[in-house]
């Protein structure tokens, strides 16, 4: 029963101690100033009486211990001052002289010992025993537990209690560890505070704004991985408040798959070999969302500490941009490769930097890549390359584009093409021209069509002009013809009357008794009138021939007979020798014999008239392939060259006594028979009129 009661008391005591120590450790955790921690500890421990606490911290490179904190009991009774006869600040305990302290510091053990033993080890003053007796220290036990910082023992937590249980020792040991952690944080934070302040000042100096940076920035101790600072963007990236990040291990920022050992993969990589490089990894938000990021990390040495500065960039946006960029690049490529127009990019020296398939074909290279670095001079004629170079250099200098310039260029296969070239400058973000992009369209076909159209329209104009001239001529001829027909017909009646009257007059004069000499004179006068009547008659005939006769009676005709008939109707002076040669192979011709006779009569009459005194007339007829040729050649005066084109026109004559319808009529009559009439002549030598009649109809 009694034992049970004791046990119950011990348990209660332990529970109280545990709760108390837990509260204390919570209170000190996160405090950045170690001295404040000591203060809190002293304050808290003053509230209790069942056990006392003091903290020894290593000093003098670990050789000595100083008393950093002591609970009210020690301070009030000036235990240490009296034991060592020194002020608390100056008091130093030699570690090596105390085996207990040595074991805790060097072997990191948690020990339980008699308080008297500890006191004797650390102080050899004669007052020791007196104090032990005064405060009943011989009844009390001490628990010594190491205090760590960064895995190294920094000091000793000493708790003294009367007859502590094993459980209490464990609680005390745990408490020592809690205090260790709190001191660790405090120590580091105070150091990092300096580091961060330094960093901030550097950043401010260099104009970068840590807090306002778009990228998330996290600073972590390179050795422990403890995050010492972060900016607003970092908070946003992981969805945590700054107080939820700072002081935490850097691994909390990453999902488990990114962590190997104690640190994230990238943290280790950046530290080991990839400092300064951009690595891809993932971060995890407070809500568990995993985000792709890129981290660039730099190792900073600040205040003797190594700090890894990680700059995070959310690559979701970047990936989206990249994807968009890729799709746009693909679109551009598809456009470039499929458009029939040639596209080329050039640098400021007019060297190709990129061309499309059409341009590759134009240049005659197997792939667009082959042309990179080359210029127009490598592919085109010197003349074109020069012109293009001048144009491009102008664009680069002035920034003014060239739009739809028509150029003639030689393609790789040697074919010349017409193209419209458009070239515009390419500018960088600062507005500086860094090259040009050109696009040329093949307009050869269009151009040819255009040229042809121009040619055709010009030809058309010529035709119209010619036709107009012909029409005017035809109108003129028609008017002449009409007049001729009218005049011809109307002159025949009075002529008929004159002839009859003249006959009667002759008869009457014959019957008068007039002297024979006078009668002879009168007869001469009559004859002259007769001649003039004949001449008038011929004029009328020519006029009517020319004007009328649109119907032709084609009859198989022996041209030899027609020539004979024509010659028979003409009186040829004896001074002119006429020869006729008709080829035996000449077949009968399909012509109108009457018209042919008229034409030949006319031509022979002309020939006779062309010969002033003596001369020759030769009439020939023969076949020349598909045509029959009938020609009349004289050795007369000939026709001046300038008159030759006009002689077949009506109302043109060189004769003093000629009305200008003879040859015009001949031409008309021959044309009506599908033939042609031509003339060759030389002044002083004579003329040849030739008629061509087609053999087959």
Partner 1 sequence: MDDDEAIVDVIKKILELKGYNVDTARSGQEAIQKTRAKYYNLALLDIKLPDMEGTYLLSRIHKDIPKMMKIMITGYASLENAVDSLNLGADAYLIKPVETEKLLRTVEEKLREQEEAESMNQEKVTEWIKSRIRKIESGVS
How far apart (Å, rounded) are the C-alpha atoms in residues 671 and 651?
18
CA R_g for the chain: 68
Min CB(691)–partner 1 separation in Å: 20
Residue 524 or 551: which CB sits closer to partner 1? 551
Minimum distance, C-beta of residue 665 to partner 1, in the bound complex (Å): 13
By beta-carbon proximity to partner 1, the closer residue of 364 and 500 is 500
Note whether 131 and 102 are within 8 A (CB).
no
Nearest to 551 by CA among 499, 493, 509, 594: 594
Least distance (Å) between residue 495 CB and partner 1: 4
Rounded to a whole number of angstroms, the minimum distance from the CB of residue 589 to partner 1 is 18
Task: Specify the residue, 410 or 492, whose C-beta has the smaller distance to partner 1.
Answer: 492
What DSSP string describes 277-332?
Answer: -EEEEEEE-TT--EEEEEEEEEEEEETTEEEEEEEEEEHHHHHHHHHHHHHHHHHH
Report the residue number, 128 or 488, with the smaller CB distance to partner 1.
488
Nearest approach in angstroms of CB 480 to partner 1 is 17
Q: What gap in Å lies between CA 67 and CA 83, rounded to an integer? A: 13
Identify which of residues 598 and 667 has a Cβ nearer to partner 1 in the complex. 598
* Closest distance to partner 1 from the beta carbon of 595 (Å): 9
114 vs 565, beta carbon nearer partner 1: 565
Task: Give the C-alpha distances (Å, rounded to integers) separating 684 from 445, 579, 640, 681.
Answer: 57, 20, 9, 9
- The least CB distance from residue 501 to partner 1, in Å, is 5
Pairing of strands 433-442, 416-427: antiparallel
Shortest gap between Cβ of 676 and partner 1 (angstroms)?
23
Instruction: Choose between 494 and 587: whose C-beta lies nearer to partner 1.
Output: 494
**Alpha-carbon torsion 531, 535, 540, 545, what sign?**
positive
Using the minimum distance from each CB to partner 1, give the nearer residue, 190 or 537: 537
Comparison of 537 and 643: residue with beta carbon closer to partner 1: 537
Nearer to partner 1, 2 or 550 (CB): 550
Nearest to 621, CA basis, from 683, 660, 686, 567: 567
Rank residues 233 and 600 by Cβ distance to partner 1 and give the closer one: 600
CB of 503 to partner 1, least distance (A): 4
Question: Do residues 186 and 33 lie in contact, with contact meaning Cβ atoms separated by under 8 Å?
Answer: yes
Name the residue nearer to partner 1 (CB basis): 13 or 592: 592
**Cβ count near 88 (within 10 Å):** 15
User: Strand, coil or helix: what is 410?
Assistant: strand
Q: Nearer to partner 1 by C-beta: 361 or 492?
A: 492
Distance CA 694, CA 623 (A): 9
Minimum CB–partner distance for residue 488 and partner 1 (Å): 8
Distances (CA, A) of 512 to 505, 506, 508: 11, 10, 7
Least Cβ distance, residue 508 to partner 1 (angstroms): 9
Sort 256 into a burial class: Cβ within 10 Å, 0-12 / 13-18 / 19+: exposed
To partner 1, the closest distance from the beta carbon of 663 in angstroms equals: 20
The minimum distance between CB 551 and partner 1, in angstroms, equals: 7
Sheet of 342-347: strand order equals: 352-355, 342-347, 433-442, 416-427, 402-410
Q: What is the DSSP string of 506-550?
A: HHHHHHS---HHHHHHHHHHHHHHHHHHHHHHHHHHHHHHHHS--
Distance CA 464, CA 444 (A): 29
∠ CA 81-153-308, rounded to 5°? 130
| Minimum separation from the CB atom of position 574 to partner 1 (A) | 26
C-alpha 191/C-alpha 531 separation (Å) is 152
Residues 297, 270 contacting (CB under 8 angstroms) = yes
Spatial strand order in the sheet of 227-230: 227-230, 216-221, 305-314, 290-302, 278-284
- Rounded CA-CA distance 160/157 in Å is 10
Q: Which residues bind partner 1 (CB under 8 A)?
A: 488-490, 492-504, 507, 533, 537, 541, 544, 548-549, 551, 553, 594
Residues 6+ apart with CB under 8 A from 223: 150, 306
Q: How far is the CB of 592 from partner 1 (least distance, A)?
A: 9
Give, for 66, the enclosing helix (H) or strand (E).
strand 64-70
Question: Is the Cβ of residue 376 or residue 592 nearer to partner 1 in the bound state?
Answer: 592
- Cβ 450 to partner 1 shortest distance, Å: 55
In this complex, which beta carbon is closest to partner 1, that of residue 300 or of residue 485?
Answer: 485
The CA distance from 332 to 152, in Å, is 63
The answer to whether the beta carbons of residues 37 and 183 sit under 8 Å apart is: yes
Give whichever of 541 and 674 is closer to partner 1, judged by the CB atom.
541
């Amino acid at each position: 029963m009694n034992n049970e009661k004791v046990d119950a008391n011990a348990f209660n005591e332990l529970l109280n101690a545990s709760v108390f120590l837990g509260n204390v450790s919570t209170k000190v955790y996160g405090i950045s100033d170690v001295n404040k921690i000591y203060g809190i500890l002293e304050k808290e421990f003053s509230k209790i009486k069942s056990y006392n606490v003091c903290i020894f911290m290593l000093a003098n490179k670990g050789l000595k211990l100083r008393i950093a904190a002591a609970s009210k009991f020690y301070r009030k009774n000036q235990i240490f001052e009296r034991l060592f006869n020194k002020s608390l600040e100056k008091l130093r305990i030699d570690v090596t002289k105390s085996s207990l302290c040595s074991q805790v510091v060097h072997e990191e053990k948690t020990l339980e010992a008699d308080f008297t033993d500890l006191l004797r080890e650390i102080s050899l003053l004669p007052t020791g025993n007196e104090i032990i007796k005064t405060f009943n220290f011989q009844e009390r036990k001490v628990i010594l537990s190491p205090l760590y910082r960064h895995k190294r023992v920094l000091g000793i937590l000493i708790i003294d209690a009367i007859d502590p249980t094993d459980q209490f020792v464990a609680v005390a040991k745990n408490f020592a560890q809690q205090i260790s952690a709190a001191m660790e944080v405090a120590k580091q934070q105070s150091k990092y505070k300096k580091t961060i302040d330094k960093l901030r000042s550097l950043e401010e100096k260099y104009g970068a704004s840590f807090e306002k940076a778009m990228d998330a920035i996290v600073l972590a101790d390179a050795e422990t991985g403890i995050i010492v600072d972060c900016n607003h963007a970092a908070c946003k990236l992981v969805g945590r408040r700054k107080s939820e990040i700072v002081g935490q291990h850097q691994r909390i920022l990453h999902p488990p798959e990114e962590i190997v050992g104690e640190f994230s993969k990238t943290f280790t990589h950046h530290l080991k070999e990839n400092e300064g490089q951009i690595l891809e990894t993932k971060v995890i938000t407070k809500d568990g969302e995993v985000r792709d990021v890129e981290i660039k990390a730099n190792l900073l040495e600040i205040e003797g500490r190594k700090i890894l500065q990680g700059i995070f960039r959310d690559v979701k946006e970047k990936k989206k941009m990249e994807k968009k960029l890729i799709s746009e690049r693909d679109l551009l490529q598809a456009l470039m490769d499929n458009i029939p127009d040639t596209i080329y990019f050039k640098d400021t020296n007019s060297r190709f930097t990129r061309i499309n398939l059409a341009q590759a074909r134009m240049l005659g290279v197997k792939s667009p890549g082959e042309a990179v670095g080359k210029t127009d001079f490598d592919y085109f004629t010197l003349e074109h390359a020069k012109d293009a170079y001048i144009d491009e250099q102008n664009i680069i200098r002035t920034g003014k584009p060239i739009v739809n310039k028509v150029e003639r260029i030689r393609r790789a296969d040697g074919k010349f093409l017409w193209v419209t070239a458009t070239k515009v400058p390419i500018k960088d973000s600062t507005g500086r021209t860094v090259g040009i992009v050109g696009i040329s369209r093949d307009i050869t076909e269009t151009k040819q069509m255009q040229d042809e159209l121009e040619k055709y329209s010009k030809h058309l104009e010529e035709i119209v002009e010619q036709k107009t001239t012909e029409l005017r001529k035809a109108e003129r001829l028609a008017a002449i013809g009409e007049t001729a027909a009218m005049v011809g017909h109307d002159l025949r009646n009075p002529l008929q009357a004159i002839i009859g009257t003249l006959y009667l007059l002759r008869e009457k004069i014959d019957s008068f008794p007039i002297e024979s000499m006078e009668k002879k004179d009168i007869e001469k006068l009559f004859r002259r009138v007769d001649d003039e009547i004949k001449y008038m008659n011929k004029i009328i005939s020519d006029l009517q021939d020319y004007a009328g006769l649109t119907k032709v009676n084609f009859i198989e005709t022996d041209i030899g007979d027609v020539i004979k008939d024509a010659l028979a109707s003409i009186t040829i002076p004896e001074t002119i020798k006429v020869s006729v040669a008709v080829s035996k192979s000449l077949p009968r011709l399909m012509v109108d014999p009457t018209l042919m006779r008229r034409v030949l009569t006319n031509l022979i009459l002309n020939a006779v008239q062309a010969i002033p005194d003596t001369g020759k007339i030769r009439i020939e007829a023969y076949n020349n392939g598909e045509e029959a040729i009938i020609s009349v050649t004289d050795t007369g005066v000939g026709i001046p060259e300038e008159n030759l084109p006009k002689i077949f026109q009506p109302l043109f004559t060189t004769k003093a006594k000629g009305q200008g319808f003879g040859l015009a009529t001949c031409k008309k009559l021959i044309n009506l028979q599908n033939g042609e009439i031509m003339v060759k002549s030389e002044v002083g030598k004579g003329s040849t009129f030739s008629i061509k009649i087609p053999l087959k109809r």
